[in-house]
Homo-oligomer: A and B are copies of this chain.
Amino acid sequence: RRKGYPEVIFCQGKSIEHVRGIIKDMLEHGEDILGTRADRTMYDELKRDFPDLKYNEDGRIIYLKRSHSQPVGRILVATGGTSDIPVAEEAACVAEFFGNNVGRLYDVGVAGLHRLLSHMDELRRAKVIIAVAGMEGALASVVAGLVSCPVIAVPTSVGYGANFHGLSALLTMLNSCASGVAVVNIDNGFGAAYIASIINRMGEKI
Protein backbone atom coordinates (compact mmCIF):
# COMPACT_ATOMS: atom_id res chain seq x y z
CA ARG A 1 0.00 0.00 0.00
CA ARG A 2 1.30 3.42 -0.91
CA LYS A 3 1.75 6.21 1.55
CA GLY A 4 -1.39 8.30 1.76
CA TYR A 5 -3.59 5.71 0.07
CA PRO A 6 -5.76 3.41 2.16
CA GLU A 7 -6.28 -0.25 1.33
CA VAL A 8 -9.24 -0.58 -1.03
CA ILE A 9 -11.67 -3.52 -0.88
CA PHE A 10 -12.71 -5.07 -4.21
CA CYS A 11 -16.12 -6.35 -3.05
CA GLN A 12 -17.20 -8.22 -6.17
CA GLY A 13 -17.00 -11.97 -5.59
CA LYS A 14 -16.54 -11.56 -1.84
CA SER A 15 -19.22 -12.67 0.62
CA ILE A 16 -20.84 -10.06 2.90
CA GLU A 17 -19.30 -11.82 5.91
CA HIS A 18 -15.89 -11.55 4.34
CA VAL A 19 -16.26 -7.82 3.66
CA ARG A 20 -17.74 -7.22 7.12
CA GLY A 21 -14.67 -8.84 8.66
CA ILE A 22 -12.27 -6.72 6.62
CA ILE A 23 -14.11 -3.50 7.52
CA LYS A 24 -14.22 -4.35 11.21
CA ASP A 25 -10.52 -5.02 11.15
CA MET A 26 -9.69 -1.83 9.32
CA LEU A 27 -11.82 0.31 11.58
CA GLU A 28 -10.09 -1.15 14.63
CA HIS A 29 -6.81 -0.05 13.07
CA GLY A 30 -8.24 3.43 12.61
CA GLU A 31 -8.37 3.23 8.85
CA ASP A 32 -10.88 4.80 6.49
CA ILE A 33 -12.99 2.44 4.42
CA LEU A 34 -13.32 2.35 0.61
CA GLY A 35 -14.97 -0.57 -1.18
CA THR A 36 -15.71 -0.85 -4.91
CA ARG A 37 -18.18 -3.01 -6.86
CA ALA A 38 -20.53 -3.36 -3.90
CA ASP A 39 -24.19 -3.88 -4.75
CA ARG A 40 -27.02 -2.38 -2.72
CA THR A 41 -27.80 -5.62 -0.88
CA MET A 42 -24.27 -5.75 0.44
CA TYR A 43 -24.45 -2.10 1.49
CA ASP A 44 -27.81 -2.52 3.27
CA GLU A 45 -26.45 -5.46 5.26
CA LEU A 46 -23.20 -3.71 6.17
CA LYS A 47 -25.01 -0.51 7.09
CA ARG A 48 -26.57 -2.30 10.08
CA ASP A 49 -23.18 -2.99 11.60
CA PHE A 50 -21.53 0.23 10.45
CA PRO A 51 -24.21 2.96 10.54
CA ASP A 52 -21.77 5.60 9.29
CA LEU A 53 -21.03 3.70 6.08
CA LYS A 54 -22.05 5.70 2.99
CA TYR A 55 -23.04 4.44 -0.46
CA ASN A 56 -22.68 5.84 -3.99
CA GLU A 57 -25.32 3.81 -5.78
CA ASP A 58 -24.38 4.58 -9.37
CA GLY A 59 -20.71 3.96 -8.71
CA ARG A 60 -21.39 0.97 -6.41
CA ILE A 61 -18.94 2.38 -3.85
CA ILE A 62 -19.15 1.97 -0.07
CA TYR A 63 -17.07 4.34 2.00
CA LEU A 64 -16.49 5.73 5.44
CA LYS A 65 -14.06 8.53 5.92
CA ARG A 66 -13.31 10.09 9.29
CA SER A 67 -10.38 12.30 8.42
CA HIS A 68 -11.41 15.29 6.35
CA SER A 69 -9.07 17.62 4.55
CA GLN A 70 -9.63 20.36 1.99
CA PRO A 71 -9.95 18.82 -1.51
CA VAL A 72 -7.03 19.81 -3.73
CA GLY A 73 -6.42 20.44 -7.44
CA ARG A 74 -9.10 19.56 -9.99
CA ILE A 75 -9.97 16.24 -11.60
CA LEU A 76 -12.71 16.44 -14.21
CA VAL A 77 -14.65 13.25 -15.02
CA ALA A 78 -16.35 13.40 -18.43
CA THR A 79 -18.55 10.78 -20.13
CA GLY A 80 -19.70 10.25 -23.70
CA GLY A 81 -23.18 9.05 -22.77
CA THR A 82 -25.47 8.50 -19.81
CA SER A 83 -24.82 4.74 -19.84
CA ASP A 84 -21.19 5.43 -18.97
CA ILE A 85 -22.20 7.10 -15.70
CA PRO A 86 -21.72 4.03 -13.44
CA VAL A 87 -18.06 3.78 -14.46
CA ALA A 88 -17.66 7.55 -14.19
CA GLU A 89 -19.17 7.61 -10.71
CA GLU A 90 -16.78 4.84 -9.61
CA ALA A 91 -13.97 7.13 -10.75
CA ALA A 92 -15.41 10.34 -9.31
CA CYS A 93 -16.32 8.88 -5.93
CA VAL A 94 -12.90 7.22 -5.54
CA ALA A 95 -11.15 10.45 -6.53
CA GLU A 96 -13.16 12.43 -3.97
CA PHE A 97 -12.40 9.87 -1.30
CA PHE A 98 -8.70 10.33 -2.04
CA GLY A 99 -9.04 14.06 -1.27
CA ASN A 100 -9.24 15.48 -4.77
CA ASN A 101 -11.49 18.29 -5.92
CA VAL A 102 -13.70 16.58 -8.52
CA GLY A 103 -15.90 17.96 -11.33
CA ARG A 104 -18.41 15.99 -13.44
CA LEU A 105 -19.30 16.59 -17.09
CA TYR A 106 -21.60 13.82 -18.26
CA ASP A 107 -23.16 13.01 -21.65
CA VAL A 108 -20.90 15.22 -23.75
CA GLY A 109 -20.11 12.62 -26.43
CA VAL A 110 -18.80 13.50 -29.87
CA ALA A 111 -22.13 13.01 -31.64
CA GLY A 112 -23.11 16.39 -30.20
CA LEU A 113 -19.91 18.40 -30.10
CA HIS A 114 -21.60 21.65 -29.13
CA ARG A 115 -22.37 20.24 -25.68
CA LEU A 116 -18.69 19.54 -25.13
CA LEU A 117 -17.49 22.81 -26.62
CA SER A 118 -19.85 24.83 -24.43
CA HIS A 119 -17.83 23.65 -21.40
CA MET A 120 -14.37 24.78 -22.47
CA ASP A 121 -13.93 26.60 -19.16
CA GLU A 122 -14.59 23.45 -17.17
CA LEU A 123 -12.17 21.52 -19.39
CA ARG A 124 -9.40 24.10 -19.09
CA ARG A 125 -9.77 24.36 -15.32
CA ALA A 126 -8.90 20.70 -14.80
CA LYS A 127 -5.44 19.48 -13.83
CA VAL A 128 -6.30 15.94 -14.98
CA ILE A 129 -9.27 14.74 -17.03
CA ILE A 130 -10.77 11.26 -16.85
CA ALA A 131 -12.56 10.56 -20.16
CA VAL A 132 -15.07 7.71 -19.88
CA ALA A 133 -16.68 6.39 -23.05
CA GLY A 134 -18.04 3.22 -24.62
CA MET A 135 -19.12 2.40 -28.17
CA GLU A 136 -16.65 4.24 -30.40
CA GLY A 137 -14.86 5.89 -27.45
CA ALA A 138 -13.85 8.99 -29.39
CA LEU A 139 -14.30 11.31 -26.41
CA ALA A 140 -10.72 10.86 -25.16
CA SER A 141 -9.16 12.02 -28.44
CA VAL A 142 -11.46 14.99 -28.83
CA VAL A 143 -10.92 16.14 -25.26
CA ALA A 144 -7.14 15.66 -25.47
CA GLY A 145 -7.14 17.83 -28.59
CA LEU A 146 -8.82 20.64 -26.66
CA VAL A 147 -6.73 20.73 -23.47
CA SER A 148 -3.13 20.67 -22.30
CA CYS A 149 -3.48 18.52 -19.18
CA PRO A 150 -3.09 14.71 -19.06
CA VAL A 151 -6.15 12.68 -20.08
CA ILE A 152 -6.76 9.26 -18.51
CA ALA A 153 -9.04 7.32 -20.83
CA VAL A 154 -11.48 4.66 -19.54
CA PRO A 155 -13.13 2.52 -22.22
CA THR A 156 -16.49 1.13 -21.09
CA SER A 157 -18.28 -2.04 -22.13
CA VAL A 158 -21.37 0.03 -23.02
CA GLY A 159 -22.80 -0.84 -26.44
CA TYR A 160 -23.57 -4.03 -28.35
CA GLY A 161 -22.55 -6.00 -31.43
CA ALA A 162 -19.21 -4.95 -32.82
CA ASN A 163 -18.26 -3.16 -29.59
CA PHE A 164 -17.19 -6.66 -28.44
CA HIS A 165 -17.65 -5.86 -24.75
CA GLY A 166 -15.51 -2.72 -24.77
CA LEU A 167 -12.87 -3.76 -27.27
CA SER A 168 -13.86 -1.05 -29.77
CA ALA A 169 -13.56 1.78 -27.24
CA LEU A 170 -10.31 0.30 -25.90
CA LEU A 171 -8.68 0.19 -29.33
CA THR A 172 -9.93 3.66 -30.19
CA MET A 173 -8.35 5.10 -27.07
CA LEU A 174 -5.05 3.28 -27.52
CA ASN A 175 -4.85 4.63 -31.07
CA SER A 176 -5.68 8.19 -30.13
CA CYS A 177 -4.22 10.59 -32.65
CA ALA A 178 -4.19 13.29 -29.97
CA SER A 179 -1.19 13.32 -27.64
CA GLY A 180 -1.50 13.29 -23.90
CA VAL A 181 -3.73 10.23 -23.48
CA ALA A 182 -3.06 7.04 -21.50
CA VAL A 183 -5.54 4.21 -21.03
CA VAL A 184 -6.71 1.90 -18.23
CA ASN A 185 -8.69 -1.35 -18.40
CA ILE A 186 -12.27 -1.51 -19.70
CA ASP A 187 -14.73 -0.26 -17.02
CA ASN A 188 -11.86 0.44 -14.59
CA GLY A 189 -13.06 3.68 -13.06
CA PHE A 190 -11.12 2.90 -9.90
CA GLY A 191 -7.79 2.57 -11.68
CA ALA A 192 -8.33 5.83 -13.54
CA ALA A 193 -9.12 7.66 -10.32
CA TYR A 194 -6.06 6.22 -8.62
CA ILE A 195 -3.50 7.39 -11.17
CA ALA A 196 -5.38 10.67 -11.74
CA SER A 197 -5.19 11.31 -8.03
CA ILE A 198 -1.41 10.80 -7.92
CA ILE A 199 -0.98 13.17 -10.84
CA ASN A 200 -3.41 15.80 -9.54
CA ARG A 201 -1.62 15.95 -6.21
CA MET A 202 1.86 16.21 -7.68
CA GLY A 203 1.74 19.95 -8.09
CA GLU A 204 0.09 20.53 -4.72
CA LYS A 205 1.64 21.18 -1.38
CA ILE A 206 -0.10 18.64 0.79
Residues of A within 8 A of B (CB): 2-5, 13, 80-81, 83, 109-113, 117, 127, 135-138, 141-142, 144-146, 148-150, 152, 155, 157, 159-188, 190-192, 194-195, 198-199, 202-203
Taken together as a complex, chains A and B put the C-alpha atoms of A2 and B152 apart, in Å, by 17
Indicate whether A145 sits within 8 Å of B177 (C-beta atoms), given known contacts A166-B162, A172-B137: no
A192–B182 Cα distance when bound, in Å, is: 8
CB-CB under 8 A from A155, the residues of chain B are: 161
Q: Complex: how many Å from CA A32 to CA B67?
A: 49
Contact A162 B152 (CB under 8 A): no
Number of this chain's copies in the complex:
8
> Of all chain B residues, which has the CB nearest A147?
B2
Contact, CB under 8 Å: A161 / B138: no
Task: Given A136-B141, A161-B186, A171-B172, output 5 extra A-B contacts at Cβ < 8 Å.
Answer: A110-B177, A111-B176, A175-B185, A180-B194, A180-B198
A and B contact pairs by CB, cutoff 8 A, 23 listed: A2-B148, A2-B180, A3-B148, A5-B179, A110-B178, A112-B145, A135-B177, A136-B141, A138-B138, A138-B141, A150-B195, A150-B198, A152-B182, A159-B175, A160-B186, A161-B175, A162-B167, A162-B186, A163-B175, A168-B175, A170-B174, A179-B194, A202-B203
